[in-house]
Amino acid sequence: MGTKHPPEQWEDLLSRELKGLPDRPAPDTLIPRVLAALEERACLPWYQQTWWTWPPAVRLVSLLLFSALLGGLTWVALHAGESVVMAEAGGRFTGWWASLQPAWTVVNSVINALALAIRQTGGWLLVGGVTFCAAMYLSCVGLGTMFYRVAIKNR
């Protein structure tokens, strides 16, 4: 067994050992691959590059268009209720929503029944169900991982 060192000595020892290791040379293909990637990126058309590399005039126009779009959307959101068209659309939505009312009644009844069952059981059923679902999920992930590794190792 080796001698135990205090943390400061251990850090110094580790630093000396790491600094004593020889440098690893870069692969011969590294520089050509990096230069090719840089050249490929530089040859892209301006509209496929980042926004900061676009020509200044195009950046200004795009910024103005985006600001106008954002301002327009904000104005529409603030003044939508004043429009006759929006009032008509709201009436249509109300009619469409009324056709979904029976389905909403069923969903609401099921939710209320579940809430009542949880209140009556004190919540332990919910905790048990969530725990069971989590255990089954983790079991599926674990078994799937195991079967995947077995299948890959046998190739």
**Alpha-carbon span 89 to 128, nearest angstrom:** 46
Q: Where are the alpha helices (DSSP H) in the chain?
A: 7-20, 30-42, 56-79, 84-99, 101-121, 124-153
Q: What pLDDT does 8 receive? A: 75
DSSP assignment, residue 5?
-
**pLDDT for 28-40, tens place per residue?**
999 999 999 999 9
Q: In terms of pTM, does the model score above 0.85?
A: no
Instruction: Give pLDDT, residue 31.
Output: 92
Q: What is the pLDDT of residue 5?
A: 61
Summarize pLDDT for 57-116 with one digit per residue, the tens. 999 999 999 999 999 999 888 887 777 777 777 778 787 778 888 888 999 999 999 888
